[in-house]
Every structure is written in structure tokens, then in C-alpha cells.
């Protein structure tokens, strides 16, 4: 299972620092996170992602059980 780390508003929406999810793509993992934490769905469109510390916007990015995904909401008005 990939570890998903939540920061700032995404942490507030989920109530946790991190959680484990299965999925073969980044989109699958994010979809599962929203299913588990519905409040996350309200802010997810304004979030960016790091997969193993590398920025990506590709929801088809392949994910493995060893991957770490950071969900980063906008900071100080940034994208």
C-alpha cells in the first residue's frame, strides 16, 4: 500500500497525518482517499502532488506499494 501524507488543509480535511491506500495509479489512490475522507473532495482540485518527492500532475502516474505521495494544498495563494 502506498503511503499518502496530508499537509495543511488536506490534513485538516482528513484529520490524519497519513494513511495507506492501494491503487495502480495516482488517480486511483486519490479517489480512494476521497472515498475514505469525503471532506478531502472539497479541496482536492486545488492540491498538487509529490510522488517520492517529485512533483506530478499526471493522475495516470503508476503507483507501487513502496511509493510515498504528498498531498499539498495551495500555500499562501499559490497553485
Q: In order of start, what are the domains of the chain with their CATH numbers?
A: 2-72 (3.10.20.30)
Cβ distance 3 to 69 under 8 Å? yes
Q: What is the pLDDT along the chain (79 residues), one digit of tens a residue?
A: 999 999 999 999 999 999 999 999 999 999 999 999 999 999 999 999 999 999 999 999 999 999 999 999 987 554 4
Output the pLDDT for position 76.
53
Distance between CA 8 and CA 21 in Å, rounded? 20
Amino acid at each position: 500500500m502506498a503511503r499518502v501524507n496530508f499537509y495543511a488543509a488536506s490534513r485538516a480535511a482528513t484529520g490524519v497525518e497519513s494513511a495507506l491506500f492501494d491503487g495502480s495509479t495516482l488517480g486511483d489512490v486519490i479517489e480512494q482517499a476521497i472515498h475514505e475522507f469525503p471532506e478531502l473532495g472539497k479541496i482536492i482540485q486545488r492540491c498538487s502532488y509529490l510522488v517520492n518527492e517529485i512533483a506530478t500532475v499526471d493522475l495516470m502516474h503508476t503507483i507501487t506499494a513502496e511509493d510515498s505521495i504528498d498531498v499539498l494544498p495551495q500555500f499562501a495563494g499559490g497553485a
